[in-house]
Protein backbone atom coordinates (compact mmCIF):
# COMPACT_ATOMS: atom_id res chain seq x y z
CA UNK A 1 0.00 0.00 0.00
CA UNK A 2 2.76 2.42 0.95
CA UNK A 3 4.70 1.90 -2.29
CA UNK A 4 1.56 2.28 -4.39
CA UNK A 5 0.54 5.46 -2.58
CA UNK A 6 4.07 6.83 -3.07
CA UNK A 7 3.59 6.26 -6.81
CA UNK A 8 0.47 8.43 -6.65
CA UNK A 9 -2.11 5.65 -6.89
CA UNK A 10 -5.35 6.77 -5.17
CA UNK A 11 -6.38 4.42 -2.36
CA UNK A 12 -9.77 3.75 -3.98
CA UNK A 13 -7.91 2.37 -7.03
CA UNK A 14 -5.78 -0.11 -5.09
CA UNK A 15 -6.98 -3.70 -5.44
CA UNK A 16 -5.95 -6.19 -2.77
CA UNK A 17 -6.81 -9.86 -2.65
CA UNK A 18 -6.67 -11.70 0.65
CA UNK A 19 -6.30 -15.07 -1.08
CA UNK A 20 -3.13 -16.75 -2.35
CA UNK A 21 -1.45 -15.45 -5.47
CA UNK A 22 -0.82 -18.98 -6.76
CA UNK A 23 -3.37 -18.44 -9.54
CA UNK A 24 -5.50 -15.69 -11.04
CA UNK A 25 -8.86 -16.87 -9.69
CA UNK A 26 -8.96 -13.93 -7.29
CA UNK A 27 -12.00 -11.64 -7.00
CA UNK A 28 -10.13 -8.33 -6.75
CA UNK A 29 -7.79 -9.26 -9.58
CA UNK A 30 -10.78 -10.04 -11.82
CA UNK A 31 -12.35 -6.72 -10.82
CA UNK A 32 -9.10 -4.91 -11.65
CA UNK A 33 -8.85 -6.65 -15.02
CA UNK A 34 -12.37 -5.51 -15.96
CA UNK A 35 -11.40 -1.88 -15.26
CA UNK A 36 -8.19 -1.86 -17.31
CA UNK A 37 -8.14 -0.19 -20.73
CA UNK A 38 -5.64 1.48 -23.05
CA UNK A 39 -5.50 4.56 -20.79
CA UNK A 40 -4.65 2.52 -17.68
CA UNK A 41 -1.34 2.13 -15.89
CA UNK A 42 -1.13 -0.88 -13.58
CA UNK A 43 1.35 -0.44 -10.73
CA UNK A 44 2.61 -3.61 -9.06
CA UNK A 45 5.01 -3.66 -6.11
CA UNK A 46 6.86 -6.73 -7.38
CA UNK A 47 6.15 -9.29 -10.08
CA UNK A 48 5.46 -12.08 -7.56
CA UNK A 49 2.62 -9.97 -6.15
CA UNK A 50 0.88 -10.35 -9.49
CA UNK A 51 1.43 -14.10 -9.73
CA UNK A 52 3.85 -16.94 -9.17
CA UNK A 53 3.08 -19.38 -11.98
CA UNK A 54 5.30 -18.89 -15.03
CA UNK A 55 2.72 -19.76 -17.71
CA UNK A 56 -0.20 -17.97 -16.02
CA UNK A 57 1.87 -14.86 -15.32
CA UNK A 58 3.01 -14.67 -18.93
CA UNK A 59 -0.56 -15.08 -20.15
CA UNK A 60 -1.92 -12.39 -17.79
CA UNK A 61 0.89 -10.02 -18.82
CA UNK A 62 -0.14 -10.56 -22.44
CA UNK A 63 -3.80 -9.91 -21.64
CA UNK A 64 -3.00 -6.72 -19.71
CA UNK A 65 -0.50 -5.27 -22.19
CA UNK A 66 -1.75 -6.58 -25.53
CA UNK A 67 -5.50 -7.21 -25.22
CA UNK A 68 -6.32 -4.44 -22.76
CA UNK A 69 -3.55 -2.16 -24.02
CA UNK A 70 -2.69 -1.05 -20.48
CA UNK A 71 0.79 -0.20 -19.32
CA UNK A 72 2.44 -2.03 -16.43
CA UNK A 73 4.93 -0.59 -13.96
CA UNK A 74 6.70 -3.02 -11.63
CA UNK A 75 7.92 -0.76 -8.83
CA UNK A 76 10.76 -3.04 -7.65
CA UNK A 77 11.99 -3.61 -11.21
CA UNK A 78 12.09 -0.30 -13.11
CA UNK A 79 13.14 -2.03 -16.33
CA UNK A 80 9.64 -3.56 -16.35
CA UNK A 81 7.89 -0.30 -17.15
CA UNK A 82 6.01 -0.65 -20.42
CA UNK A 83 5.49 3.12 -20.63
CA UNK A 84 9.17 3.72 -21.31
CA UNK A 85 9.95 1.95 -24.55
CA UNK A 86 7.10 1.09 -26.93
CA UNK A 87 9.38 -0.06 -29.75
CA UNK A 88 9.80 -3.66 -30.82
CA UNK A 89 13.12 -3.82 -28.97
CA UNK A 90 11.58 -2.40 -25.77
CA UNK A 91 8.73 -4.90 -25.93
CA UNK A 92 11.18 -7.74 -26.55
CA UNK A 93 13.36 -6.75 -23.60
CA UNK A 94 10.46 -6.37 -21.16
CA UNK A 95 8.98 -9.71 -22.31
CA UNK A 96 12.34 -11.49 -21.76
CA UNK A 97 12.79 -9.92 -18.33
CA UNK A 98 9.23 -10.85 -17.43
CA UNK A 99 9.91 -14.44 -18.51
CA UNK A 100 13.02 -14.59 -16.34
CA UNK A 101 11.33 -13.05 -13.30
CA UNK A 102 8.26 -15.28 -13.73
CA UNK A 103 10.51 -18.32 -13.77
CA UNK A 104 12.29 -17.14 -10.62
CA UNK A 105 8.98 -16.43 -8.85
CA UNK A 106 7.56 -19.88 -9.67
CA UNK A 107 10.80 -21.60 -8.73
CA UNK A 108 10.88 -19.78 -5.39
CA UNK A 109 7.23 -20.69 -4.76
CA UNK A 110 7.96 -24.38 -5.42
CA UNK A 111 11.11 -24.32 -3.28
CA UNK A 112 9.23 -22.81 -0.35
CA UNK A 113 6.53 -25.48 -0.55
CA UNK A 114 9.10 -28.26 -0.88
CA UNK A 115 10.98 -27.01 2.20
CA UNK A 116 7.70 -26.67 4.09
CA UNK A 117 6.71 -30.26 3.25
CA UNK A 118 10.16 -31.52 4.28
CA UNK A 119 9.94 -29.61 7.56
CA UNK A 120 6.49 -31.00 8.32
CA UNK A 121 7.63 -34.56 7.53
CA UNK A 122 10.70 -34.17 9.76
CA UNK A 123 8.60 -32.76 12.61
CA UNK A 124 6.08 -35.60 12.31
CA UNK A 125 8.94 -38.12 12.38
CA UNK A 126 10.06 -36.53 15.67
CA UNK A 127 6.53 -36.98 17.05
CA UNK A 128 5.35 -33.39 16.77
CA UNK A 129 1.57 -33.14 16.54
CA UNK A 130 -0.02 -30.43 14.42
CA UNK A 131 -3.32 -28.68 14.87
CA UNK A 132 -5.33 -27.62 17.84
CA UNK A 133 -5.19 -29.64 21.01
CA UNK A 134 -8.58 -31.27 21.66
CA UNK A 135 -10.62 -29.61 24.35
CA UNK A 136 -11.44 -31.75 27.40
CA UNK A 137 -14.96 -33.13 27.43
CA UNK A 138 -17.30 -31.83 30.12
CA UNK A 139 -17.76 -34.16 33.10
CA UNK A 140 -21.40 -34.86 32.22
CA UNK A 141 -20.69 -35.57 28.53
CA UNK A 142 -21.89 -39.20 28.59
CA UNK A 143 -25.12 -38.16 30.28
CA UNK A 144 -25.88 -35.40 27.78
CA UNK A 145 -24.60 -36.82 24.50
CA UNK A 146 -26.29 -39.92 23.09
CA UNK A 147 -24.36 -41.92 20.51
pLDDT, one tens digit per residue, over 56-80 is: 888 888 899 889 999 999 898 888 8
**CB burial string 81-111: b at 16+ within 10 A, e below:** bbeeeeeeeeeeebbeebeebbeebbeebee
CATH 3.30.990.10 fits 2-108, yes or no: no
| Structure confidence at residue 110 (pLDDT) | 87
* Average pLDDT of the segment spanning 3-26: 85
Q: Is the dihedral of CA 78, 81, 85, 88 positive or negative?
A: positive
Please state, in angstroms and rounded to a whole number, the distance separating the CA atoms of residues 18 and 26: 9
* Average pLDDT of the segment spanning 82-88: 75
**23: region left, alpha or beta (phi > 0 left; psi from -120 to 50 alpha):** beta
The domains of the chain are located at 2-108
Number of other residues whose CB lies within 10 A of the CB of residue 44: 19
Would you say 9 and 43 are in contact if contact means Cβ atoms under 8 Å apart?
yes
| Structure confidence at residue 21 (pLDDT) | 64
Residue 43: which residues within 8 A CB-CB, separation 6 or more?
4, 7, 9, 73, 75
Q: Under DSSP, is residue 81 helix (H, G, I), strand (E, B) or coil?
A: strand
| Structure confidence at residue 117 (pLDDT) | 93
Report DSSP letters for 116-142, one per residue.
HHHHHHHHHHTTPPPSPPPPPPPTTHH
* Average pLDDT of the segment spanning 92-96: 77
Q: Please report which confidence band the pLDDT of residue 147 belongs to, taking 50, 70 and 90 as the band edges.
A: low
pLDDT, one tens digit per residue, over 30-55 is: 999 999 999 999 999 988 788 878 78
Amino acid sequence: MIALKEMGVPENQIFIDKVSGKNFERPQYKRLLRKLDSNSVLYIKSIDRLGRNYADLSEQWRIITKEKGADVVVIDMPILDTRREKSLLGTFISDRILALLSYIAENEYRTIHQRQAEGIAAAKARGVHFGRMPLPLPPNFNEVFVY
